[in-house]
Amino acid sequence: MSYRHTIDVDRCKGCGLCVAVCPKHVLEIASELNAKGYFPAYQARPQDCVYCSTCCIMCPDVAISIVELAEETV
Amino acid sequence: MKKVLMKGNEAIGEAAIRAGCLNYFAYPITPQSEVAEYLSKRMPEVGGVFLQGESEVAVGYMIFGAAACGARVFTTSSSPGISLMSEAISYIAGAECPAVFVNIMRGGPGLGGILPSQGDYLQATKGGGHGDYRMLVMAPASVQEAAEMVMQAFPLAEKYRNPVMILGDGLIGQMMEPVMFPDHLRTEPSNKDAWATNGMDTRRSDKRNLVKSLYLDPNVLNAQNLKLKAKYEQMKREEIRFEAYHTEASYEALIVSYGTMSRVCKTAIDNLKEEGIEIGLIRPQTLFPFPEMAIRQACDRPECRVVLSIEMSMGQMLEDVERSVQGKKPVEWYGKCGGEVPTPEEVMDVVRSFLKQYGKE
Amino acid sequence: MGKTFQKPQALSDTPTHYCPGCTHGVIHRLIAEVIDEMGIRGKMVGIAPVGCAVLAYNYFTFDFQEAAHGRAPAMATGIKRVRPDLMVFTYQGDGDLASIGMGEIIHAANRGEKFTTIFVNNAVYGMTGGQMAPTTMPNQRTTTSPMGRNVAEVGMPIKVAELLSSLQTPAYITRQTVIKPKYIVKAKKAIRQAFEYQLAGKCYSFVEVVSTCPTNWGLTPVEAVKWAETTMLPYYELGDKKVPD
């Protein structure tokens, strides 16, 4: 089972709550502004992500989603 | 159809039920608490909703919530209670929901008195709440008329998606007269699925409804106000009602009077006729829209020397009468507050006095 | 391992106007998730307050009414009395519920009106720029208590959950918070419980949610979480204050 973790860059308001709660310290605040003028969060260490969805639960803007990817055929 | 002897307040309650309104929220206040007492027994009999709220403020919003989900709903109160409901009335008008309010007027201002008055005319017709809105205001002069107007109020409120007010007074609320209730009227607002928050499942729709009055964009708010104004203009075209009394005669003075006061004036007119003095009366049955044209035409007769606005207030209707008369004739006022209804003899003295003041040429 | 996470259907796509880190967004989402999970979107009616959440109706995809300040419980009463089959919740802040609306909430709860109230307690009036609220903490600086809330002059903060719990009518009264994920999970369960009671027509339900207001507290969102945890939670204790028999 594989998953994809996506942060909607333009929904994110850069509040930093996801960064603070991620148990694996995957997330950081970017240094480029998004279209709304916020510095959004991003996965600095995506390889460490365990898709626990704690960041999703914390995010007030529903900016983060995790979807299941279809099984790749060999 | 049977004629029954009923107290005005009770007839008002019964009339609402006959009009298919089975939802009543109210708060006691003299002189109309009997409506709530009557309906507390009667609503359960017809499977309706009765709730005594904790204040008129709360009741105004219970009315709003229920009206906004498409239910036919009404309340009754008296002057200070209507003041408390006035914010809700503004909201209901702004959100374009239908609702019926009955004001059984008592003495004011402030705590005032508990006897009849007509001291809320301005509040009812010019807007007791804030913002550009109007209520369609009907003024009964008898228990029968009160019952009929209550029954007419619901379809009118739904036609315009606007609050409608019945402006009665303590005498109409308290006295007993014979009443014959007209047949049932249609019970459901016809267009409610277009706007009511009655649940998407109820409407079998995936489109949700929103009832609100907030429009932060000034252009949108202006457009909304123009939309409301168009309703009030339509009311002026289609809903004016009045009674002309003794206007087939060549009257020397025209009285404008409504509600309980108009009945006293009618007696005075009948008595003066026996003395050879002819007086006419225009009795507005709608106070908004006001029967301006009827008054203008009625006073525009050569033998009519003065127009008299006679009311149980300190002249709240006077300006509307003056505007209607448009300077064609002098307009005078007589009124009494405090709760004592003027007697026919008082009115006759007043009429004679003004006729003398504006003597024949 | 993980599970998928998507925006619930009961929540609209519209990005919110709430400040960065404002917990209104979390609470809105939890309500929407519960509605989706219970399959009740088609009979929901929400009532928006006057406060930061005045535009709450833009963020949900079901019927909504806009109440005057403090009057949502009266409107909810009107709806539930005439349409008991509809699921109704009021969403109210400190000023709306605990100040101007105090009469309405007490009486609706006391009558046992079968709707749910979500009370967002962030110890301040947010929308109007950070004035003192009945829930402002002792010595907390706000724009109308610049020297800090002086309890000798204006009294102690009101614990609304406890106040309502003193009423004799059965109800579900609970206090939760959404400042950290472990609390958010419990808050969602409480909201679910409240809606279940309403669906069963059992009682009035009230979920107070201790929340942050970073902007008006003058703190970053992460600092605000810390302040809420250290200053508010010891006073506004979490947990069920009353359950119906």
> From CA B348, how far away is CA B64, in angstroms rounded?
45
Task: Check if C221 contacts A (Cβ < 8 Å).
Answer: yes
Report residue B301 as tokens.
């007769």
Distance from CA of A74 to the nearest CA of C (A): 23
Task: Return the pLDDT at A70.
Answer: 79
Confidence band, pLDDT 50/70/90 cuts, at residue B185: low
Q: What is the pLDDT of residue B183?
A: 74
Q: Is the pLDDT of residue B325 over 90?
A: yes
Mean residue pLDDT across chain B? 96
Residues B268 and B208 occupy one common structural domain:
no
- The Cα B38–Cα B17 span in angstroms is 12
Per-domain residue ranges of chain C: 24-242
ipTM of the complex: 0.95
Considering the domain C24-242, what is its CATH architecture? 3-Layer(aba) Sandwich (3.40)
Instruction: Please check whether residues B284 and B145 belong to one and the same domain.
Output: no
**Arithmetic mean of pLDDT, B319-331:** 98
Nearest neighbour of B73 by CB, restricted to C57, C67, C82? C82
CA proximity to C93, closest of C138, C140, C57, C52: C52
* B34 and B104 assigned to the same domain: yes
Q: What is the DSSP letter of B33?
A: H
Strand (E) or helix (H) holding C210: strand C204-210
Average pLDDT over residues B327-337: 97
* Residue B260: half-sphere exposure toward Cβ, Cα within 13 Å: 28
* B252, pLDDT greater than 80: yes
How many domains does chain B divide into?
2
Structure letter (DSSP) for residue B336? -
Residue B30: φ, ψ to 5°: -70, 140
pLDDT for B74 equals 98
Among residues of chain B, what percentage have pLDDT more than 70?
98
Q: Which of A1, A61, A64, A66 should be substituted to probe chain C, the one whose Cβ sees the most C Cβ atoms within 10 Å?
A: A61
Residues across chain A? 74
**B153 three-state secondary structure:** helix
Q: Which chain B residue is nearest to residue C90, measuring alpha carbons? A: B65
Element containing residue B238 per DSSP (H, E) = helix B218-238
Q: Characterize the bridge pairing of strands B242-245 and B279-284.
A: antiparallel
User: Of A49, A46, A14, A42, which Cα lies nearest the Cα of A28?
Assistant: A42
pLDDT value of residue B220:
98
Q: What is the CATH number of the domain that holds B226?
A: 3.40.50.970
DSSP B309: E
**pLDDT above 80: residue C218:** yes
Answer yes or no: do B263 and B232 share one domain.
no
Average pLDDT over residues C109-135: 97
pLDDT tens readout for residues C127-150:
999 999 999 999 999 999 999 999
The CA distance from C230 to C136, in Å, is 14
CB contact under 8 A, B208 and C62: yes
C-beta atoms of B64 and C63 within 8 A: no
What's the pLDDT at B187? Answer: 57
- Confidence at B189, pLDDT banded by 50, 70, 90: low
Which of B220, B238, B256 is the last residue before a domain boundary?
Answer: B238
CB contact under 8 Å between C63 and B200, yes or no, is yes
Q: Is C13 exposed, middle or buried (0-12, 13-18, 19+ CB in 10 A)?
A: exposed
CB-based contact, A69 to chain C, within 8 Å: no
| Global confidence as pTM | 0.94
Q: In this structure, what CATH number is given to the domain that contains residue B323?
A: 3.40.50.920
Split at pLDDT 50, 70, 90, the class of B186 is: low
Name the residue range of residue B277's domain: 242-357
Q: Do A and B make contact, counting contact as 3+ CB pairs within 8 angstroms? A: no
Distance CA C126, CA A64 (A): 26
Q: Last residue of a domain, which of B238, B271, B301?
A: B238
Neighbours of chain A (3+ CB pairs under 8 A): C
Chains that touch C (3 or more CB pairs under 8 A): A, B
What is d(CA C59, CA B167) in angstroms, rounded to the nearest whole number?
41
Domains and CATH numbers, chain A: 2-69 (3.30.70.20)
**In Å, what is the CA distance from B14 to each residue of B1, B36, B46, B200, B268?**
14, 11, 11, 33, 32
Instruction: Specify whether B234 is located in the same domain as B248.
Output: no
Q: What is the pLDDT of residue A52?
A: 96
pLDDT at B274: 97
Whether the pLDDT of residue B333 is over 70: the answer is yes
Burial of C85 (0-12, 13-18, 19+ CB in 10 A): exposed
Same domain, B76 and B174: yes
Does the pLDDT at position C85 exceed 60?
yes
| Per-residue pLDDT, C1 | 43
Task: State the Cα–Cα distance between residues B148 and B297, nearest whole angstrom.
Answer: 27
For residues B160 and B117, state if they share a domain: yes
Report yes or no: A58 at the C interface, CB cutoff 8 Å.
yes
User: Would you state the pLDDT for residue B246?
Assistant: 97
From the list C57, C67, C85, which residue is nearest B61 (CB)?
C67
Residues B39 and B150 in one domain: yes
Q: What is the pLDDT of residues B158-181, one digit of tens each?
A: 999 999 999 999 999 999 999 999
pLDDT value of position B176: 97
Do B229 and B259 belong to one domain?
no
Looking at B182, B208, B238, which one is the last position of a domain? Answer: B238
B184 and B298 inside one domain: no
Which candidate from A20, A21, A62 shows the least CB-CB separation from C7?
Answer: A62
Per-residue pLDDT tens over the stretch A25-62: 999 999 999 999 999 999 999 999 999 999 999 999 99
Question: Helix B143-160 vs helix B8-18: angle between axes, to the nearest 10 degrees?
Answer: 40
pLDDT of residue B127: 83
Q: Which of A38, A52, A64 sits opposite C20 (nearest CB)?
A: A38
pLDDT tens-place string over residues B293-302? 999 999 999 9
Mean pLDDT confidence for B132-153: 97
- Asked if residue B98 and residue B54 are part of one domain, the reply reads yes
Shortest distance between the Cα of B204 and any Cα of chain C, in A, equals 8
Q: What are phi and psi of B127, to 5 degrees?
A: 100, 105
pLDDT band, very low/low/confident/very high, at B129 (cuts 50, 70, 90): very high
Chain C CA closest to residue A3: C4
Give residue C245's pLDDT band: very low, low, confident or very high (50, 70, 90).
confident
